[in-house]
Structure 1
Amino acid sequence: MHGVHPPVRWLDEAASTAALAVAALGIEPGQIANSLVFLLDGEPLLVLTSGGHRVDTQWLGGELGGTIGRASASVVKAATGQTIGGVAPVGHPRALRTVVDEALAEYGTVWAAAGHAHTVYPTSASELVRVTGGVLRAVVPPA
Protein backbone atom coordinates (compact mmCIF):
# COMPACT_ATOMS: atom_id res chain seq x y z
CA MET A 1 0.00 0.00 0.00
CA HIS A 2 2.24 2.79 -1.25
CA GLY A 3 5.04 1.99 1.17
CA VAL A 4 2.61 1.61 4.05
CA HIS A 5 2.18 -1.66 5.90
CA PRO A 6 -0.51 -0.94 8.48
CA PRO A 7 -1.85 -3.51 10.90
CA VAL A 8 -5.17 -4.40 9.25
CA ARG A 9 -7.86 -5.32 11.73
CA TRP A 10 -10.56 -7.84 10.87
CA LEU A 11 -13.96 -7.04 12.41
CA ASP A 12 -16.47 -9.79 13.21
CA GLU A 13 -19.30 -7.59 11.94
CA ALA A 14 -19.15 -5.53 8.75
CA ALA A 15 -18.33 -1.87 9.40
CA SER A 16 -19.88 -0.54 6.20
CA THR A 17 -21.03 2.69 7.90
CA ALA A 18 -19.32 5.09 10.28
CA ALA A 19 -21.79 4.19 13.04
CA LEU A 20 -20.97 0.48 12.73
CA ALA A 21 -17.23 1.16 12.71
CA VAL A 22 -17.52 3.41 15.78
CA ALA A 23 -19.38 0.69 17.66
CA ALA A 24 -16.90 -2.02 16.62
CA LEU A 25 -13.79 0.01 17.46
CA GLY A 26 -15.02 1.97 20.49
CA ILE A 27 -13.87 5.31 19.08
CA GLU A 28 -15.36 8.72 18.32
CA PRO A 29 -17.26 9.21 15.03
CA GLY A 30 -14.73 11.85 13.98
CA GLN A 31 -11.99 9.21 13.96
CA ILE A 32 -13.57 7.33 11.06
CA ALA A 33 -12.15 8.20 7.64
CA ASN A 34 -15.13 7.44 5.41
CA SER A 35 -14.15 6.76 1.79
CA LEU A 36 -16.82 8.33 -0.39
CA VAL A 37 -16.66 8.37 -4.17
CA PHE A 38 -18.40 11.21 -5.97
CA LEU A 39 -18.37 12.47 -9.53
CA LEU A 40 -16.83 15.90 -10.05
CA ASP A 41 -17.93 17.01 -13.50
CA GLY A 42 -18.19 13.35 -14.47
CA GLU A 43 -14.79 12.26 -13.12
CA PRO A 44 -14.39 10.13 -9.96
CA LEU A 45 -13.45 12.07 -6.84
CA LEU A 46 -12.51 10.27 -3.63
CA VAL A 47 -13.37 12.18 -0.47
CA LEU A 48 -11.95 10.81 2.78
CA THR A 49 -14.27 12.48 5.24
CA SER A 50 -14.61 12.43 8.99
CA GLY A 51 -17.41 10.22 10.24
CA GLY A 52 -18.39 13.19 12.40
CA HIS A 53 -20.21 14.99 9.59
CA ARG A 54 -21.51 14.82 6.02
CA VAL A 55 -19.79 16.28 2.96
CA ASP A 56 -21.51 19.43 1.70
CA THR A 57 -21.30 18.51 -1.99
CA GLN A 58 -22.68 21.80 -3.28
CA TRP A 59 -20.18 23.83 -1.24
CA LEU A 60 -17.22 21.52 -1.95
CA GLY A 61 -18.03 21.45 -5.66
CA GLY A 62 -17.91 25.24 -5.68
CA GLU A 63 -14.57 25.18 -3.86
CA LEU A 64 -13.19 22.71 -6.41
CA GLY A 65 -14.61 24.63 -9.36
CA GLY A 66 -17.16 22.09 -10.52
CA THR A 67 -20.33 20.18 -9.76
CA ILE A 68 -20.32 17.16 -7.47
CA GLY A 69 -22.83 14.33 -7.68
CA ARG A 70 -23.10 10.89 -6.13
CA ALA A 71 -21.42 8.00 -7.90
CA SER A 72 -23.43 4.82 -8.47
CA ALA A 73 -22.27 1.51 -7.01
CA SER A 74 -21.07 0.45 -10.47
CA VAL A 75 -19.03 3.66 -10.88
CA VAL A 76 -17.49 3.16 -7.41
CA LYS A 77 -16.56 -0.43 -8.30
CA ALA A 78 -15.08 0.59 -11.67
CA ALA A 79 -13.11 3.50 -10.17
CA THR A 80 -11.79 1.71 -7.08
CA GLY A 81 -12.03 -2.01 -7.75
CA GLN A 82 -13.84 -2.20 -4.39
CA THR A 83 -17.45 -2.14 -3.26
CA ILE A 84 -19.21 0.58 -1.30
CA GLY A 85 -18.75 0.01 2.43
CA GLY A 86 -15.15 -1.14 2.20
CA VAL A 87 -13.40 1.29 -0.16
CA ALA A 88 -9.81 1.80 0.94
CA PRO A 89 -7.96 5.09 0.37
CA VAL A 90 -5.53 3.35 -2.02
CA GLY A 91 -5.26 0.21 -4.13
CA HIS A 92 -7.42 1.45 -6.99
CA PRO A 93 -6.89 0.60 -10.67
CA ARG A 94 -5.72 4.18 -11.26
CA ALA A 95 -4.99 7.15 -9.04
CA LEU A 96 -8.08 9.12 -8.07
CA ARG A 97 -8.27 12.82 -7.34
CA THR A 98 -8.58 12.81 -3.56
CA VAL A 99 -9.69 15.25 -0.89
CA VAL A 100 -8.84 14.44 2.74
CA ASP A 101 -11.16 16.14 5.24
CA GLU A 102 -9.18 18.54 7.42
CA ALA A 103 -11.36 17.51 10.39
CA LEU A 104 -9.47 14.19 10.43
CA ALA A 105 -6.32 16.10 11.42
CA GLU A 106 -7.91 16.79 14.82
CA TYR A 107 -7.10 13.19 15.78
CA GLY A 108 -3.73 11.48 16.08
CA THR A 109 -5.21 8.21 14.85
CA VAL A 110 -8.09 7.72 12.45
CA TRP A 111 -9.43 4.48 11.01
CA ALA A 112 -9.96 3.79 7.32
CA ALA A 113 -11.44 0.88 5.40
CA ALA A 114 -8.90 -1.64 4.14
CA GLY A 115 -10.71 -2.77 0.98
CA HIS A 116 -13.41 -4.94 2.56
CA ALA A 117 -16.38 -4.15 4.81
CA HIS A 118 -14.85 -6.26 7.59
CA THR A 119 -11.38 -4.67 7.52
CA VAL A 120 -10.03 -1.37 8.82
CA TYR A 121 -6.61 0.03 9.62
CA PRO A 122 -5.24 2.85 11.77
CA THR A 123 -3.65 5.82 10.03
CA SER A 124 -3.52 9.62 10.24
CA ALA A 125 -4.72 12.52 8.13
CA SER A 126 -1.17 13.34 7.07
CA GLU A 127 -0.53 9.73 6.07
CA LEU A 128 -3.75 9.71 4.03
CA VAL A 129 -2.60 12.82 2.17
CA ARG A 130 0.79 11.24 1.53
CA VAL A 131 -0.40 7.86 0.28
CA THR A 132 -3.23 9.20 -1.87
CA GLY A 133 -1.49 12.29 -3.24
CA GLY A 134 -4.59 14.12 -2.08
CA VAL A 135 -5.15 17.52 -0.57
CA LEU A 136 -6.16 18.34 3.00
CA ARG A 137 -9.12 20.71 3.00
CA ALA A 138 -12.52 21.40 4.48
CA VAL A 139 -15.46 19.43 3.07
CA VAL A 140 -18.07 21.59 4.79
CA PRO A 141 -18.26 25.39 4.94
CA PRO A 142 -16.69 27.14 7.94
CA ALA A 143 -19.08 27.50 10.87
Structure 2
Amino acid sequence: MSSNLKKSAQKVQTVLNEFGFELNVVELSDSTRTAQEAANTIGCTVSQIAKSLIFKGKSSQKPILIIASGTNRVNEKVIKEHIGEKLQKADADFVLEHTGFAIGGIPPIGHKDSIITLIDEDLMQYDEIWAAAGTPNAVFKLTPKILVEITKGDVISIK
Protein backbone atom coordinates (compact mmCIF):
# COMPACT_ATOMS: atom_id res chain seq x y z
CA MET A 1 0.00 0.00 0.00
CA SER A 2 1.33 3.41 -0.89
CA SER A 3 2.29 5.81 1.87
CA ASN A 4 -0.29 8.34 0.61
CA LEU A 5 -3.10 5.89 1.31
CA LYS A 6 -1.71 5.14 4.75
CA LYS A 7 -1.43 8.88 5.38
CA SER A 8 -5.14 9.31 4.58
CA ALA A 9 -6.13 6.59 7.05
CA GLN A 10 -3.82 8.09 9.69
CA LYS A 11 -5.38 11.51 9.14
CA VAL A 12 -8.84 10.03 9.76
CA GLN A 13 -7.59 8.33 12.95
CA THR A 14 -6.12 11.63 14.17
CA VAL A 15 -9.45 13.42 13.60
CA LEU A 16 -11.35 10.59 15.31
CA ASN A 17 -9.05 10.81 18.34
CA GLU A 18 -9.91 14.50 18.71
CA PHE A 19 -13.59 13.63 19.28
CA GLY A 20 -12.74 11.62 22.39
CA PHE A 21 -14.58 8.43 21.41
CA GLU A 22 -12.91 5.03 21.18
CA LEU A 23 -13.07 4.90 17.39
CA ASN A 24 -10.33 2.98 15.64
CA VAL A 25 -9.44 2.84 11.97
CA VAL A 26 -8.95 -0.72 10.79
CA GLU A 27 -7.00 -1.51 7.61
CA LEU A 28 -8.44 -4.58 5.93
CA SER A 29 -6.79 -6.90 3.44
CA ASP A 30 -9.77 -6.83 1.06
CA SER A 31 -11.33 -3.81 -0.60
CA THR A 32 -14.05 -1.77 1.03
CA ARG A 33 -14.41 0.51 -2.01
CA THR A 34 -18.11 -0.34 -2.52
CA ALA A 35 -20.74 -0.90 0.17
CA GLN A 36 -21.09 -4.54 -0.90
CA GLU A 37 -17.32 -5.15 -0.78
CA ALA A 38 -17.13 -3.47 2.62
CA ALA A 39 -19.98 -5.58 4.04
CA ASN A 40 -18.40 -8.78 2.69
CA THR A 41 -14.98 -7.88 4.11
CA ILE A 42 -16.28 -6.71 7.51
CA GLY A 43 -18.98 -9.36 7.89
CA CYS A 44 -21.94 -7.02 8.41
CA THR A 45 -25.02 -6.23 6.32
CA VAL A 46 -24.74 -3.80 3.40
CA SER A 47 -27.29 -1.58 5.18
CA GLN A 48 -24.80 -1.08 8.05
CA ILE A 49 -22.27 0.54 5.71
CA ALA A 50 -22.39 4.34 5.99
CA LYS A 51 -21.32 5.39 2.51
CA SER A 52 -20.13 8.99 2.16
CA LEU A 53 -21.28 10.48 -1.14
CA ILE A 54 -20.19 13.92 -2.26
CA PHE A 55 -22.49 15.95 -4.49
CA LYS A 56 -22.26 19.52 -5.70
CA GLY A 57 -24.99 22.12 -5.25
CA LYS A 58 -26.02 23.15 -8.76
CA SER A 59 -26.28 26.89 -8.04
CA SER A 60 -23.91 27.26 -5.05
CA GLN A 61 -21.24 24.89 -6.45
CA LYS A 62 -20.62 23.89 -2.81
CA PRO A 63 -19.95 20.31 -1.76
CA ILE A 64 -22.77 18.40 -0.06
CA LEU A 65 -22.05 15.20 1.85
CA ILE A 66 -24.77 12.59 2.05
CA ILE A 67 -24.03 9.68 4.37
CA ALA A 68 -26.29 6.92 3.10
CA SER A 69 -27.06 3.42 4.26
CA GLY A 70 -25.25 1.03 1.91
CA THR A 71 -28.43 -0.28 0.28
CA ASN A 72 -30.06 3.11 -0.32
CA ARG A 73 -29.95 5.32 -3.37
CA VAL A 74 -30.14 9.08 -2.93
CA ASN A 75 -33.42 10.62 -4.12
CA GLU A 76 -32.16 13.92 -5.49
CA LYS A 77 -35.66 15.50 -5.38
CA VAL A 78 -35.91 14.83 -1.63
CA ILE A 79 -32.48 16.38 -1.07
CA LYS A 80 -33.39 19.41 -3.22
CA GLU A 81 -36.42 20.05 -0.99
CA HIS A 82 -34.17 19.92 2.07
CA ILE A 83 -31.28 22.10 0.87
CA GLY A 84 -33.11 24.35 -1.58
CA GLU A 85 -31.09 23.57 -4.70
CA LYS A 86 -30.56 20.79 -7.22
CA LEU A 87 -27.71 18.34 -6.82
CA GLN A 88 -25.05 17.73 -9.43
CA LYS A 89 -22.71 14.79 -9.60
CA ALA A 90 -19.28 15.73 -8.27
CA ASP A 91 -16.30 14.49 -10.27
CA ALA A 92 -13.18 12.96 -8.72
CA ASP A 93 -11.23 16.23 -8.85
CA PHE A 94 -14.01 18.18 -7.09
CA VAL A 95 -14.26 15.50 -4.38
CA LEU A 96 -10.49 15.47 -3.79
CA GLU A 97 -10.30 19.28 -3.82
CA HIS A 98 -13.00 19.72 -1.14
CA THR A 99 -12.47 16.64 1.03
CA GLY A 100 -8.77 15.85 0.65
CA PHE A 101 -9.75 12.23 -0.02
CA ALA A 102 -10.15 10.16 -3.19
CA ILE A 103 -13.43 8.51 -4.19
CA GLY A 104 -13.62 4.98 -2.78
CA GLY A 105 -12.46 5.90 0.71
CA ILE A 106 -14.20 9.16 1.62
CA PRO A 107 -14.73 9.33 5.38
CA PRO A 108 -17.65 11.19 7.00
CA ILE A 109 -15.19 13.49 8.84
CA GLY A 110 -11.79 15.15 8.44
CA HIS A 111 -12.48 17.02 5.21
CA LYS A 112 -10.44 19.99 3.98
CA ASP A 113 -13.54 22.19 3.76
CA SER A 114 -16.60 22.42 6.00
CA ILE A 115 -19.31 20.49 4.18
CA ILE A 116 -23.12 20.49 4.56
CA THR A 117 -23.86 16.97 5.83
CA LEU A 118 -27.06 14.96 5.56
CA ILE A 119 -27.40 11.55 7.23
CA ASP A 120 -29.73 8.80 6.05
CA GLU A 121 -32.32 8.14 8.78
CA ASP A 122 -32.16 4.41 7.92
CA LEU A 123 -28.71 4.25 9.57
CA MET A 124 -30.29 5.16 12.93
CA GLN A 125 -31.80 1.69 13.40
CA TYR A 126 -28.44 -0.08 13.89
CA ASP A 127 -26.36 -0.61 17.03
CA GLU A 128 -23.22 -0.25 14.96
CA ILE A 129 -22.34 1.01 11.52
CA TRP A 130 -19.13 1.17 9.51
CA ALA A 131 -17.70 4.13 7.61
CA ALA A 132 -14.78 4.57 5.23
CA ALA A 133 -11.58 5.91 6.75
CA GLY A 134 -9.71 7.58 3.92
CA THR A 135 -8.62 4.64 1.76
CA PRO A 136 -10.32 1.81 -0.18
CA ASN A 137 -9.18 -0.62 2.57
CA ALA A 138 -9.71 1.38 5.76
CA VAL A 139 -12.90 1.57 7.82
CA PHE A 140 -14.03 2.37 11.34
CA LYS A 141 -16.96 1.19 13.43
CA LEU A 142 -19.22 3.63 15.26
CA THR A 143 -22.79 4.13 16.41
CA PRO A 144 -25.33 6.21 14.48
CA LYS A 145 -25.56 8.58 17.46
CA ILE A 146 -21.80 9.21 17.37
CA LEU A 147 -21.98 9.71 13.58
CA VAL A 148 -24.53 12.51 14.07
CA GLU A 149 -22.43 14.04 16.85
CA ILE A 150 -19.09 14.06 15.00
CA THR A 151 -20.48 15.19 11.63
CA LYS A 152 -23.09 17.65 12.95
CA GLY A 153 -25.25 16.28 10.12
CA ASP A 154 -29.01 16.52 9.74
CA VAL A 155 -30.79 13.16 9.87
CA ILE A 156 -33.34 12.98 7.05
CA SER A 157 -35.01 10.51 4.71
CA ILE A 158 -32.78 10.42 1.64
CA LYS A 159 -34.80 7.99 -0.49
Give the alignment's TM-score, normalised by structure 2.
Answer: 0.84
Are positions 1:79 and 2:95 aligned together? no
Match of 1:19 among 31, 36, 45: 36
- CA offsets, 1:44-99, max 9 Å, x none? 00000000211111222123211011100000001100000100111111211100
Match of 1:37 among 32, 51, 54: 54
Please say which structure displays the higher CA radius of gyration.
Answer: 2
Aligned to 1:38, what secondary structure does the other structure show?
Answer: strand
Give the alignment's TM-score, normalised by structure 1.
Answer: 0.93
Aligned-pair identity (%): 32
Cα separation, 1, equivalents of 2:127 and 2:89: 29
Larger % of helix: which? 2
Are positions 1:134 and 2:153 aligned together? yes
Cα separation, 2, equivalents of 1:115 and 1:12: 15
Aligned-partner residue type, residue 71 of structure 1:
A
Equivalent residue runs for 1:1-143 within 5 Å: 1=15, 2-3=18-19, 4-41=21-58, 42-140=61-159
Cα separation, 1, equivalents of 2:77 and 2:28: 34
Contact 1:13–1:118, Cα closer than 8 Å, also in 2: yes
Contact 1:101–1:139, Cα closer than 8 Å, also in 2: yes
Unaligned runs of 5+ in 1: none
Aligned to 2:65, what secondary structure does the other structure show?
Answer: strand
Unaligned runs of 5+ in 2: 1-14
Cα distance, 1:5 vs structure 2: 4.4
Contact 1:40–1:61, Cα closer than 8 Å, also in 2: no
Aligned-partner residue type, residue 8 of structure 1:
V
Cα separation, 1, equivalents of 2:142 and 2:68: 13
